[in-house]
Amino acid sequence: MEKMINLKINGIAVSVPAGSTILDAARQAGIEIPTLCFMKDINEIGACRICVVEANEGKGFRQVTACVYPVTEGMEVLTNTDKIQKSRKTTLELILSVHDMSCLSCKRSTNCELQKLCRDYGVDQTAFGGTKPRHELDFSAAHLVRDNNKCILCRRCVAVCREQYVSVIGANDRGFDTKIGQAFNLPLNNTPCISCGQCTAVCPTGALTEKDDTQKVWDALADPTKHVVIQTAPSIRATIGECFGMPIGTNVEGKLVAGLRRIGFDKVFDTDFGADLTIVEEANELVERIKNGGTLPMITSCSPGWVKFCELYYPDLLGHLSSCKSPQQMTGAVVKTYYAEKMGIDPKDIFSVSIMPCTAKKFECGRENQSASGYPDVDVALTTREAARMLERLGVNFADLPDEEFDSPLGDDTGAAVIFGATGGVMEAAVRTANAWLNGAEQAIEVEAVRGTDAIKETTVNLAGTDIKLCVASGAKNAKIVMDKLAAGNPDGWGFIEIMCCPGGCVNGGGQPIQPQYIRDTVDLKAVRAKALYDQDKGMTLRMSHESPLIKKIYEEWYTDGFGGHKAHHDLHTSYVAREKYTK
């Protein structure tokens, strides 16, 4: 039986497992102790000193940091005494003494953890004067901007980058000169950063933000010569509502379409179409590899952060990647080829925008071999947060919008496409189609074993009499575990692997809505958001990508040489390159 520790917090009796911290115990008692640097299981360093409390273990009360201090039998804890409140206020004033307080124009204003604490503790200016360091902003990367003038040295970004294995950022210099950056102060784009953006999702202030491309979209919308279309990724319907105060995991697909129409886009398309297209091409590629002795295991290529990770860290294994473009790029390619011809529009006059959960999509837009029409498949990739800011700028009352449907012809989808946003979803979608093609199944197979938020999942399916072992991994740290095994000769015998760069898949992408760390610590965002996608899939009539009438139509009219044919390969497939980890 697990040993329990009894203590009191603000006079409330609490019993928690041995090894728990004061912060753990307080949360169990429904008491929120403020934090800034703390991230459960990832960054438990007690550095910011905001979580200080008074604890008495029989020798009188003294200040300790709640996030790392273990509870003891009979301990008494006080979390909000006058002494503690003054201590926290002083700490906040010290932080502000070197902080760029341009809150009015900051993207994180009203959703900044430092700002909220200052408001809670009545801090509107600092009592400490003196030198305020100035740092040059790093705009070098395609996906984010680092502004160390707003950094509070909490090291959350450092911890999550380490959790993603790449560890390209850390603390440089010492003392007053300490700043977060790259080794040798290299620009971020000269390092093996995989553009996942997880650092932007956990930063408590505006020190790390996605590179804002909304003005490019506003400019295109104002240009009468441009036909501006937008596509939305599968996971966005389950997340963007959070930006407007709606419960986590609310499916707002119809309101999202309505909101984008009100911004002024000429067409609102569904990236789910591209997901269905990806599946028929990817499933065909898997079947061909199985039948013809191709390179196995085949690994999915939908996640640009994962693709970049492989190019940087496992270039010798690039042959295992599917050559399929991501759903974003496939949709963009079809918009500027098939759709352009049907509508009689010159591809150069189409401005193609996407809303993605992923900051790496910004990098993907500029990759080579992503221009099926001769022009970029996608001109601008916006994060969920950028799209929300565009809606807010127009004063759209999102929650009260009516539900509207995506535009034809690229607005149809299947349940297989919807679940792309969750880890395991791409695998399940591909298996459904492969199972139908090879086993003659008429109903969508439910691959329960690849669902859920476990870091690495495995199962086996039988395709045409052959057992194929499947592996699903999410998060770059877990991608490394899988790839190390593959490099060692694939001792587990995997035949098909799905890898998503972000833990939990796209629902937890680096471009998704910012949630305070307390919510990230206490709510399984990955699971709650993913549930909305699986619920939608379950209620759909068509649940296999090859069943989509639009997919059938486009192969009848456009890709007439079939799945994986020459024309489809030109538009919908890509190539990869070995990348140097550091460049000058």
For residue 79, the one-letter residue type is T
CA gap 239, 394 in Å, rounded: 20
How far is residue 299's CA from residue 323's CA, in Å, rounded to a whole number?
9
Task: List the alpha helices (DSSP H) in 500-565.
Answer: 517-522, 525-538, 549-557
> In terms of C-beta distances under 8 Å and separation of at least 24 residues, what long-range contacts does 81-86 make, across chains too?
81/54, 83/54, 84/52, 84/53, 84/54, 85/121
CA distance 230 to 217: 10
- Domains of the chain with bracketed CATH: 4-80 (3.10.20.740), 95-210 (3.30.70.20), 215-572 (3.40.50.1780)
What residue type is 452 in one-letter code?
G
Q: Which helix (H) or strand (E) holds 61?
A: strand 61-65
pLDDT of residue 125: 80
Do 389 and 107 contact (CB within 8 A), yes or no?
yes
Q: Going residue by residue through the chain, which has 584 residues, state the pLDDT in tens, using 9 for 90 and above.
A: 789 999 999 999 999 999 999 999 999 999 999 999 999 999 999 999 999 999 999 999 999 999 999 999 999 999 999 999 999 999 999 999 999 999 999 999 999 999 999 999 999 887 888 888 999 999 999 999 999 999 999 999 999 999 999 999 999 999 999 999 999 999 999 999 999 999 999 999 999 999 999 999 999 999 999 999 999 999 999 999 999 999 999 999 999 999 999 999 999 999 999 999 999 999 999 889 988 999 999 999 999 999 999 999 999 999 999 999 999 999 999 999 999 999 999 999 999 999 999 999 999 999 999 999 999 999 999 999 999 999 999 998 999 999 999 999 999 899 999 999 999 999 999 999 999 998 999 999 999 999 999 999 999 999 888 899 999 999 999 999 999 999 999 999 999 999 999 999 999 999 999 999 999 999 999 999 999 999 999 999 999 999 999 999 999 999 999 999 999 999 999 999 999 999 87
Amino acid identity for residue 438 in this structure: L
Largest CA distance in the chain: 82
Q: How far apart are CA 262 and CA 33, in angstroms?
A: 41
Task: In whole angstroms, give the CA distance from residue 360 to residue 363.
Answer: 5
Q: Please give the helix or strand (H or E) that residue 380 lies within, else none.
A: strand 380-383
Round to whole Å and give the CA distance between 420 and 430. Answer: 10
Q: Which two tokens stand for residue 154?
A: 């909490």
* Measured CA distances, 262 to 163, 242, 344 (Å): 40, 19, 24
CA dist 19 to 6, 398, 434, 534, Å? 12, 45, 48, 36
- Pairing verdict, β 227-232 and 267-270: parallel
Quote the pLDDT of residue 225.
98
C-alpha pair distances (Å), 4 with each of 42, 73, 175? 24, 9, 41
Please state, in angstroms and rounded to a whole number, the distance separating the CA atoms of residues 372 and 489. Answer: 36
Q: Inter-axis angle of helices 476-487 and 304-313, to 10 degrees?
A: 50
Side chain identity at 401, as an amino acid letter? L
Q: What Rg do the C-alpha atoms of the chain give, in angstroms? A: 25
Q: Is 140 helix (H, G, I), strand (E, B) or coil?
A: coil
Instruction: Give the H/E segment covering residue 381.
Output: strand 380-383
Phi, psi of 439 (to 5 degrees): -110, -5
3-state secondary structure of 167: coil
Distance CA(272)–CA(274), nearest Å, equals: 5
Burial class of 456 by CB neighbour count within 10 A (0 to 12, 13 to 18, 19+): middle
pTM beyond 0.85, yes or no: yes
CA distance 138 to 199: 14
Task: Give the phi and the psi of residue 462 in degrees, each rounded to 5.
Answer: -105, 120
Distance CA 545, CA 413 (A): 8
Phi/psi class of residue 119: alpha, beta or left (left: φ > 0; alpha: ψ in -120 to 50)? alpha
Torsion angle, alpha carbons of 204, 207, 208, 211, to 10: 130
DSSP E strands in 127-205: the ranges are 144-146, 170-172, 179-181
Least Cα distance to 42 among 150, 223, 227, 167 occurs for 167
